[in-house]
């Protein structure tokens, strides 16, 4: 590969074969988000009480903890892809790289805390 | 990456086009998505962490958004209504995008109708959700 123009360097190489990956996974996770968020909205609305003890008991159930973990995987993946598009649209050069790293940090830290919290409640560690 | 040459012309943007519902819901989809991804995520994770942390940390979370009587305070209402409106708007425009993705709904009248319906749907679902919560 020479040191010609940017276009010249990539011409003839064909596609990177991953152009549709981001687009497709945004749709896949959108579909799973739809079901998981409807579940969360309905389940929360149908709770008789929202005090500490009731909520702990609710999240402790496998029927809540497991969908909640799936929801975090699906929703967090989806919003990571979405915020990536925002960054790509409005930032350029170095600031784009920094923004993308900050985005990954935000997603990993928030997902880590959320998953740990659910598992801690579900596995019944004394609060 | 070479920097963009500022002298080159830009494609027509928001200031050029006459506004229509399709533009508004497109922007709403992005704005609500980004709002949910940032504010929504932080609140959701705070709620989970507070619940996992114990009765004291959960009380701190609840007290931030409610009065002493247990009803929502001003912040609770702003955040609650804002998030439900955003969520339902993003959900409705998301469903609209599924149809657009398969190539349906691009006829001018159809497109305009369903763009407006996403906003109607978001408001109706939000009101319905809060009414249900109020009765519960």
Q: Is the pLDDT of residue A9 over 60?
A: yes
Neighbour tally for B59: CB within 10 Å: 13
* 3 state DSSP class of B105: coil
Q: What is the DSSP letter of B9?
A: P
| Per-residue pLDDT reduced to its tens digit, B76-131 | 999 999 999 999 999 999 999 999 999 999 999 999 999 999 999 999 999 999 99
Question: How big is the A-B interface in CB pairs under 8 Å?
Answer: 77
Chain B interface, Cβ < 8 Å to A: 1-4, 30, 33-34, 36-38, 41-42, 44-45, 48-49, 51-55, 58-59, 62, 87, 91, 94-95, 97-98, 101, 129, 132-133, 136
Three-class secondary structure of residue A48 per DSSP: coil
Which has the minimum average pLDDT: A20-34, A79-93, B5-19? B5-19
Mean pLDDT for chain A?
93
Contact A117 B51 (CB under 8 A): yes
| Residue B26 structure tokens | 């497109």
Q: Report the 10 Å Cβ neighbour count for A43.
A: 14
Q: Which CATH class is domain A21-122?
A: mainly alpha
Retrieve residue A77's tokens: 């993946």
Q: Is 60 exceeded by the pLDDT of residue B49?
A: yes
CA angle at A74 for the pair A99 and B82, rounded to the nearest 5°: 70
Q: Do B55 and A127 touch (CB under 8 A)?
A: yes
Q: Domain spanning B21-135 has what CATH number?
A: 1.20.1300.10
| pLDDT classification of A2: cutoffs 50, 70, 90 | low
Q: Pick the residue with more confidence: B70 or B103?
A: B103
Point out the residue among B3, B36, B48 whose CB comes nearest to the CB of A93: B3
Q: Please list every residue in chain A whose beta carbon sits closer than 8 Å to the beta carbon of residue B42.
A: 110
Residue ranges per structural domain of chain B:
21-135
Lowest average pLDDT, out of A12-21, A59-68, B56-65, B103-112, goes to: A12-21
Q: Rounded distance, CA A125 to CA A120, Å?
A: 6
Among B52, B98, B132, the residue with its CB nearest the CB of A45 is B132
- pLDDT class of A124 with cuts at 50, 70, 90: confident
A127 CB within 8 Å of a chain B CB? yes
| pLDDT exceeds cutoff 70 at B66 | yes
Q: Which of B71, B123, B122, B114 is nearest to B96 (CA)?
A: B114
Residues of chain B with pLDDT > 70, as a percent, come to 96
Domain edges within chain A: 21-122
ipTM of the complex: 0.88
Please judge whether B34 and A113 are an interchain contact, meaning their C-beta atoms are less than 8 angstroms apart: no
Tell me the per-residue pLDDT of A59-99, one tens digit each, with 9 for 90 and over.
999 999 999 999 999 999 999 999 999 999 999 999 999 99
Cα dihedral across residues B69, B128, B50, A68: positive or negative: positive
Query: Can you give the pLDDT at residue B3?
Result: 66
């Amino acid at each position: 590969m020479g040191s010609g123009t940017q276009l010249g360097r990539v011409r003839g190489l064909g596609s990177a074969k991953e152009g549709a990956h981001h687009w497709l996974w945004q749709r896949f996770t959108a579909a799973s988000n739809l079901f998981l968020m409807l579940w969360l909205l309905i389940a929360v609305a149908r709770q008789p009480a929202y005090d500490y003890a009731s909520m702990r008991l609710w999240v402790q159930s496998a029927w809540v903890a497991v969908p909640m973990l799936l929801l975090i995987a699906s929703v967090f993946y989806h919003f990571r892809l979405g915020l990536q598009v925002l960054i790509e649209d409005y930032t350029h050069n170095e600031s784009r790289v920094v923004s993308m790293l900050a985005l990954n940090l935000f997603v990993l830290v928030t997902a880590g805390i959320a998953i740990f919290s659910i598992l801690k409640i579900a596995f019944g560690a004394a609060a | 990456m070479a920097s963009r040459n500022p002298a080159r012309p830009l494609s027509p943007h928001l200031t050029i086009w006459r506004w229509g519902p399709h533009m508004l819901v497109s922007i709403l989809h992005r704005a609500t998505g980004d709002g949910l991804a940032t504010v929504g995520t932080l609140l959701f994770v705070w709620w989970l962490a507070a619940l996992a942390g114990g009765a004291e940390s959960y009380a701190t979370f609840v007290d931030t958004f409610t009065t002493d009587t247990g009803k929502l305070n001003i912040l609770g209402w702003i955040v609650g209504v804002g998030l439900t409106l955003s969520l339902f708007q993003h959900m409705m425009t998301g469903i609209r995008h599924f149809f657009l993705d398969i190539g349906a709904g691009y006829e001018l009248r159809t497109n305009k109708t369903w763009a407006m319906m996403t906003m109607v749907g978001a408001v109706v679902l939000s009101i319905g959700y809060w009414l249900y919560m109020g009765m519960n």
